[in-house]
């Protein structure tokens, strides 16, 4: 191991010795060239000219170079091993379901002892106002596997400013086909009321190849995310957020007419997006409507510890409608035993809605850091909302549930 | 537009040029791709919301444009490959062109490192160039590539391993390894 590190260090030193390469063109000349290019009717044209010319020249070169390579079968090419990505989420879902007949349907909130929905969450002020009766406390997460007659469809919306992804877990009847339900979502989503951006993929056809972990996404030919870098980033992040829980590894993008890849604003043509599974998140609250709020995952650097991430849950960024999910006066210490995270609350703990939301956020954050269970210590109550606090609690199955009743 | 151009040029132009050059290793193609990067940046600067630094935003655009260029080349190679029924190795084209002057004056070891960079995947190459030629931090590299930090580390490790393997083979066999 040590000698391997030593070898790596030597290799790095060699790379660092590679010389600086300078561009021998004046600033003025470069600006003139760019301006001239931009003044052309279609900026895409220049690129199309460049590539065929290079392509034609390189075609000959390639043939010449490939012939000796054919003879030499001993060469090998290093390839990225994407299979190394370790999935840390456990909310897998069988998506191979039979197509069912289309029904008139509506969105509903379904109250169940252990699986509640919360799109009509109270505002923070209301939450703090009183200790709500135990039965009215609502959770932002799905605690168990879906019931035998239900499935979860994972989807994501962007916040109004295109800065954060909001994952949603749509609970649909088991006999609905998940892939085709993505195209029906428009009937159920209430983006304006929820204070979020419109669903971006209404006309996009998704097919999941579970065996190979590949999602094939077919976009309408006129699909356009615009020229904003924020939207281009959001486009990628939304797709990753949607398909990460299905344990997919790669999203392949194509147009209806069959062309591989689609134009994604300043990123240019993108034909596939790799899904990274080992990202850590801190879950805070997004609220841009008086009636609704959602837990949103905020990506954390690898250097951020679970303790730091949980402490950060007390911070708000109101400019972006992001609010603390843990009350600022909450004090706790963090320890771990194996896959269990132990949280000792050292401040007052009352069975309020705020505390249920806090536990939801802590549980989801812990889940993204790879923990399977969370044990709360030193709490003065045995139960709050759906949580029994006297024993370790399993991390949730999914976040921000929305129940859809198609009957 | 001129103000934005001036600012980016003054702060990042040489770095931008160098990054693309080490990716594609051709001055003319680099010059064209650099212009494409500026065009994208100037066209979309108004909508840049500062969700990342200008530096990482600029380099992520540069990276996408470079990868697009590689993909367009790969598609063309694939067509030829399909025609002749080449093996997978046919997709890989080692750099056999003349060395640029800056590299030609270096010792043989550095020249080999430069050549064998092409045996890395585009992702590995991007990470190695950003980390050890451009001297960007792991965090900046992750933001530019849209990778997690752990993925940058893994890709970096694999890239270094690939380079080392080929350099070792080169030393043992006393000639170019393809």
CB nearest A278 (choices: B135, B148, B158): B148
CATH topology match: B1-93 vs B94-178:
no
Strand partners, A156: A167
Q: Give the pLDDT confidence of B26-55 residue by residue, as tens digits.
A: 898 999 999 999 998 888 777 676 666 888
Does the distance separating the beta carbons of B93 and A65 come in below 8 Å? yes
Q: Are A179 and A208 in contact (CB under 8 A)?
A: yes
CB nearest A228 (choices: B47, B120, B121): B47
Q: Are A247 and A215 in contact (CB under 8 A)?
A: no
Greater confidence (B80 vs B120) lies with B120
Residue A311 vs residues A164, A214, A316: alpha-carbon distances, Å: 20, 36, 12
Handedness of CA B39, B42, B45, B46 (dihedral sign): negative
Q: Are A173 and A149 in contact (CB under 8 A)?
A: yes
Q: Give the pLDDT confidence of A7-64 residue by residue, as tens digits.
A: 888 999 999 999 999 888 888 899 998 988 887 654 333 333 334 444 444 555 554 5
Q: Which of A315-324, A396-405, B14-23, B90-99 has the highest mean pLDDT?
A: B14-23
Q: Are B147 and B141 in contact (CB under 8 A)?
A: yes
Q: Are A117 and A401 in contact (CB under 8 A)?
A: yes
Residues of A in contact with B13 (CB under 8 A): 23, 27, 30
Does the distance separating the beta carbons of A34 and B42 come in below 8 Å? yes
Mutation target to probe the B interface, by most B beta carbons within 10 A, among A13, A29, A78 is A78
Strand partners, A343: A334, A376
Domain ranges of chain B: 1-93, 94-178
Q: Are A374 and A363 in contact (CB under 8 A)?
A: yes
Min Cα distance B174 → chain A (Å) is 16
Q: What is the pLDDT along chain A (407 residues), one digit of tens a residue?
A: 446 678 888 999 999 999 999 888 888 899 998 988 887 654 333 333 334 444 444 555 554 555 444 444 433 333 333 333 333 232 322 222 333 333 333 343 333 333 333 333 434 444 433 344 555 788 999 987 777 788 899 999 999 888 899 999 999 888 888 888 888 887 788 887 888 888 889 889 999 988 889 999 999 888 888 777 778 889 999 999 999 999 899 999 999 888 889 988 888 889 999 998 888 999 999 998 877 899 999 999 888 999 999 999 999 988 889 999 999 999 999 999 989 999 999 998 888 999 999 999 999 999 999 999 999 999 889 999 999 999 999 999 999 999 877 65
Say how far apart CA A225 and CA A196 lie, in whole Å: 16
Does the distance separating the beta carbons of B94 and A80 come in below 8 Å? no
CATH number of B1-93: 1.10.1740.10
Residues of B in contact with A279 (CB under 8 A): 148
Residue A48 in tokens: 């199309």
Greater confidence (B50 vs B80) lies with B50
- For residue A327, the number of C-alpha atoms closer than 13 Å in the C-beta half-sphere is 18
Q: Are B50 and B44 in contact (CB under 8 A)?
A: no
Residues of A in contact with B43 (CB under 8 A): 38, 43, 227, 266
CATH fold of B94-178 reads Arc Repressor Mutant, subunit A (1.10.10)
Does the distance separating the beta carbons of A34 and B35 come in below 8 Å? yes
Does the distance separating the beta carbons of B162 and A15 come in below 8 Å? no
Provide ipTM, 2 decimals: 0.86
Strand partners, A383: A388
Does the distance separating the beta carbons of A276 and B68 come in below 8 Å? no
Alpha-carbon dihedral angle through residues A307, A118, A298, A187, given to the nearest 10 degrees: 160
Q: What order of strands is seen across the sheet that includes strand A150-158?
A: A106-107, A401-405, A165-173, A150-158
Q: Which of B105, B139, B120, B90 is nearest to B22 (CA)?
A: B120
The band of B76, judged by pLDDT with boundaries at 50, 70 and 90, is low
Does the distance separating the beta carbons of A230 and B5 come in below 8 Å? no
Q: Are A65 and B81 in contact (CB under 8 A)?
A: no
The band of B175, judged by pLDDT with boundaries at 50, 70 and 90, is low
Say how far apart CA A260 and CA A251 lie, in whole Å: 12
């Amino acid at each position: 191991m040590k000698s391997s590190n030593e070898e790596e260090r030597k290799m790095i030193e060699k790379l660092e010795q590679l010389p600086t390469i300078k561009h021998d063109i004046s600033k003025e000349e470069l600006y003139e060239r760019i301006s001239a290019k931009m003044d052309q009717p279609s900026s895409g044209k220049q690129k199309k000219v460049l590539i065929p010319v290079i392509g034609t020249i390189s075609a000959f070169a390639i043939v010449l170079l490939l012939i000796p390579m054919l003879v030499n079968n001993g060469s090998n090419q290093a390839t990225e091993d994407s299979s190394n990505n370790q999935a840390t989420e456990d909310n897998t879902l069988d998506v191979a379901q039979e197509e069912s007949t289309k029904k008139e349907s509506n969105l509903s909130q379904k109250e169940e002892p252990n699986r509640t929905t919360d799109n009509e969450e109270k505002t923070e002020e209301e939450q703090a106002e009183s200790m709500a009766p135990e039965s009215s406390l609502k959770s932002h997460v799905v605690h168990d596997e879906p019931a035998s007659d239900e499935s979860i469809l994972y989807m994501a919306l962007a916040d109004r400013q295109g800065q954060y992804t909001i994952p949603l877990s749509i609970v649909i009847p088991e006999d609905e086909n998940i892939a085709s339900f993505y195209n029906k979502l428009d009937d159920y989503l209430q983006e304006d009321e929820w204070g979020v951006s419109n669903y971006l993929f209404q006309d996009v056809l998704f097919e999941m190849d579970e065996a190979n972990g590949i999602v094939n996404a077919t976009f309408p030919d006129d699909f356009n995310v615009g020229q904003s870098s924020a939207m281009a980033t959001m486009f990628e992040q939304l797709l990753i957020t949607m398909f990460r829980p299905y344990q997919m590894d790669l999203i392949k993008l194509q147009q209806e007419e069959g062309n591989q890849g689609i134009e994604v604003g300043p990123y240019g043509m993108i034909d596939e997006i790799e899904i990274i599974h080992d990202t850590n998140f801190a879950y805070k609250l997004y609220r841009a409507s008086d009636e609704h709020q959602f837990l949103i995952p905020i990506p954390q650097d690898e250097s951020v510890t679970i303790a730091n991430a949980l402490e950060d849950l007390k911070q708000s960024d109101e400019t972006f409608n992001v609010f603390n999910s843990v009350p600022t006066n909450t004090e706790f210490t963090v320890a771990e035993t194996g896959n269990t995270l132990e949280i000792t609350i050292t401040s007052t703990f009352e069975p309020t809605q705020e505390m249920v939301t806090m536990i939801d956020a802590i549980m989801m954050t812990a889940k993204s850091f790879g923990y399977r269970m969370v044990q709360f210590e030193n709490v003065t109550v045995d139960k709050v909302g759906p949580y029994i606090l006297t024993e370790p609690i399993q991390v949730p199955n999914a976040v921000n549930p929305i129940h859809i009743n198609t009957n | 537009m001129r103000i934005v151009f001036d600012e980016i040029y003054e702060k990042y132009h040489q770095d931008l040029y160098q990054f693309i050059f080490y990716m594609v290793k051709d001055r003319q193609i680099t010059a064209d791709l650099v212009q494409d990067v500026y065009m994208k940046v100037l066209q979309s600067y108004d909508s840049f919301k500062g969700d990342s630094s200008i530096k990482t935003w600029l380099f992520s655009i540069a990276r996408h444009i470079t990868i697009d260029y590689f993909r367009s080349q790969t598609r063309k190679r694939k067509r030829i490959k399909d025609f002749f029924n080449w093996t997978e190795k046919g997709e890989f084209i080692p750099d056999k062109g003349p060395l640029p002057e800056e590299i030609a004056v270096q010792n043989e070891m550095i020249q080999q490192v430069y050549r064998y960079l092409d045996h890395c995947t585009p992702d590995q190459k991007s990470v190695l160039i950003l980390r050890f030629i451009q001297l960007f931090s792991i965090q900046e590299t992750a933001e530019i590539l849209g990778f997690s930090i752990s993925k940058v580390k893994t890709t970096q490790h694999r890239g270094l391993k690939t380079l080392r393997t080929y350099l070792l083979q080169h030393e043992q066999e006393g000639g170019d390894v393809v």
